[in-house]
Amino acid sequence: MKIINFHEHELQIHKEGFLYWIEKKCAIVSDLHLEKGSSYAVTGQFIPPYDSYETLNRLFGFIKKHKVTKLILLGDTFHDEGAYNRMSIKAKSLFNRIIENYKVIFVLGNHESKMKIDNLNFHKEYVIDNVHFLHEAVHNNFLQISGHFHPVASIKLSRKKITEKCLIHSNNHLILPSFGEFTGGLNIKNKALKPFVTSNSDIYFLTKKSIYLFKALDTKA
């Protein structure tokens, strides 16, 4: 775990990809993409259909351990509009347990534009203490925490290139990595991230064992 001083706010980044706002007892994650595995099956790409339960189980473990009272999901919680209905009984039961026992804020993602689930509301944007939570970063001066890009970074270590998920801290932006099982990633050097990443941006490189802090300048394409 490392501390991020986001202007006057102190946040924790955990190696699993969770952001935790201690003062608010609030956990923030992005891009769960529940039922992405089952969506692949429709096109004949058969991968283990357990991604939703595994993702939710990791999420539930964290919020229990840290006594979280509020959970903000930064969009693309579901991979597509039919995802909730395709969830297994086991996964759906755990999902319902989370939303019944915690205050969960669903930010609307681009994969959820047509989502309709009873008693579940999506926010285009959510604000706490002048910090704006949204799915995709925008060009603006306000403080914002977002996801969408599934950022990854690459470093060179002893002739070997290593690529891992990362969190980007760039002035008024925090861009979170994806949390889902089969979500892939976009390198921070990609032109899509150019408006939000400078050579001096802090890159929190997340491995299974620890978190390493680099400047964007020190990473590889």
Residue type for position 145: I
Residue 24 CA to residue 21 CA, distance in Å, equals: 6
pLDDT higher than 80, residue 117: no
Q: What would the pLDDT profile of 145-176 be if each residue is shown by its tens digit?
A: 999 999 999 998 788 899 999 999 999 999 99
Arithmetic mean of pLDDT over the chain:
91
Contact 114, 143 (CB under 8 A): no
The conformation of residue 154, written as its DSSP 8-state character, comes to: E
State residue 203's pLDDT score: 98
- Closest-CA residue to 173 (of 202, 216, 215): 202
State residue 40's pLDDT score: 63
pTM of the predicted structure, to 2 decimals? 0.93
Say how many C-beta atoms besides its own lie within 10 A of residue 54's C-beta. 14
Q: What would the pLDDT profile of 63-106 be if each residue is shown by its tens digit?
A: 999 999 999 999 999 988 888 988 999 999 999 999 999 999 99
- Domains, the chain, in order of start with CATH, read 2-218 (3.60.21)
pLDDT higher than 80, residue 58: yes
